[in-house]
Amino acid sequence: MKMEEKPLSGPDNTRLEALIQDVYSELVEDACLGLCFEVHRAVKQGYFFLDETDQDSIKEFEIVDQPGVDIFGQVFNQWKNKECECPNCKRLIAASRFAPHLEKCLGMGRNSSRIANRRLATNNNISKSESDQEDNDDLNDNDWSYGAEKKAKKRRPDKNQNSPRRSKSLKHKNGELGTSLSSDPYKQYNYNAGISYESLGPNEIRSLLTTQCGVISEHTKRMCTRSHRCPQHTDDQRRAIRLFLLGPSVPTLPDADVEGDSFDIPNGQALLSRLQWEDFPDVSPTDSASSKASTNHSDSKRPKKKKRLDLSLNSGGGGVNMTGVSSSSCQSNISLSTKKKKPKTAAPSVSSIYDELN
């Protein structure tokens, strides 16, 4: 069939438009007719008014069209500002922070064990056994790397850096809840790569060293928080650290089957005075001729008086308790009380103790 071309070119645009309008109105009428047929059939078959049978439920579930409310009539952030009372600590916690708080408060969950471990490292009133388990746990943990440990930031007294929502919660909780509630209990959560030994008391150092590797890193001047089996450091390093930090009555490493040795006390005072912080680099961890466990053998008279004699002094003080672990606590009690930054005063105290023993 031959197609007419002329009517659709330029001057016949009106005709084209008319044609288009025709086609369009045809389509619309088709749609209307279809609808009428549908409705009519529904009426005749009796299902046209089916959705209007129950007026009560219609009113109940009517679409809501108010501002601030969704179509069901529910408020969007209704629970955002609600506070819940923690069943454990009886504090009021914001609803969105309730779950993480409960995790820490009850001591369950991954983060809480890590935080607790850190806290143990800086507090000295928590039992050692608990922290021993935690240490192994952390060592086996895949997403902990020693490098990350070392590079961790300074101590943050407010919140745990592990928390996934740390930045968000800090942003939102500037005024009310964040500072007041979280600063106090979490102040002790120091997330450090290691511990900075300068700020620790002797008791803390002692407890730390019995559970942790404790070797001080050259870069950050911090103690390694890994366990005694930490692969980064040797036992000699650990021994040296203990010597360095705890002075003459250096505790033996916990896996030691200890003492009972010769008892050389002679120059306790002089030696102690020589044991300055600055001397530390001089002490090489290489005098490991003796087994790592025993530190108090008859080698005590070797030229390296600094180290050996101190250890023997240690054993003297440790005569009271013979087991490795508890001896450390006893000894460090004796020696560390004043040892930390005032070697001079340490000397008299140690000598006085030995006076008693003698």
Partner 1 sequence: MVVVFSLFDADRLPNLARRSGISPTNTMNKEARLKASINQKLTETGERDRLKELLRAKLTECGWKDQMKAQCKDVIKQKGLEHVTVEDLVVEVTPKGRALVPDSVKKELLQRIRAFLTQHAS
- List interacting residues with partner 1 (CB under 8 A): 1, 3-5, 7-9, 15-16, 19-25, 27-37, 39-40, 43, 48
Q: Are 316 and 308 in contact (CB under 8 A)?
A: no
Side chain identity at 14, as an amino acid letter?
T
Question: Of 1 and 289, which CB lies nearer to partner 1 in the complex structure?
Answer: 1
Minimum distance of partner 1 from residue 3's CB (angstroms): 6
As measured in angstroms, the least distance from the Cβ of 25 to partner 1 is: 7
Q: How far is the CB of 15 from partner 1 (least distance, A)?
A: 8
CB of 97 to partner 1, least distance (A): 43
Q: Residue 115's closest CA among 147, 148, 162?
A: 162
Residue 40 or 221 having the CB closest to partner 1: 40
Positive or negative torsion for Cα 220, 188, 162, 237: positive
How far is 15 from 251, CA to CA, in rounded Å? 106
Residue 30 or 62 having the CB closest to partner 1: 30
**Residue nearer to partner 1 on the CB measure, 34 or 266:** 34
Nearer to partner 1, 22 or 70 (CB): 22
Q: At what angle do helices 202-211 and 110-122 cross, to 10 degrees?
A: 130
Q: Which is nearer to partner 1, 9 or 286 (CB)?
A: 9
In the complex, what is the shortest distance from the CB of residue 45 to partner 1, in angstroms, rounded to a whole number? 12
* Rounded least distance, CB 70 to partner 1, Å: 20
Of 152, 146, 165, 157, which Cα lies nearest the Cα of 103? Answer: 165
Choice between 59 and 154, CB closer to partner 1: 59
What is the C-alpha to C-alpha distance for residues 202 and 157, in angstroms, rounded to an integer? 22
Neighbour tally for 97: CB within 10 Å = 20
The minimum distance between CB 28 and partner 1, in angstroms, equals: 6
CB atoms within 10 A of CB 219: 9
- Contact between 324 and 253 under an 8 Å Cβ cutoff? The reply is yes
Smallest separation (angstroms) from partner 1 to the CB of 72: 20
Radius of gyration of the chain (CA): 39
Complex with partner 1: residue 50 or 289, whichever CB lies closer? 50
Any bridge partners for residue 223, and if so which? 195, 216
Closest to 202 (Cα-Cα) out of 336, 105, 90, 85: 336
Structure tokens at 322: 């013979």
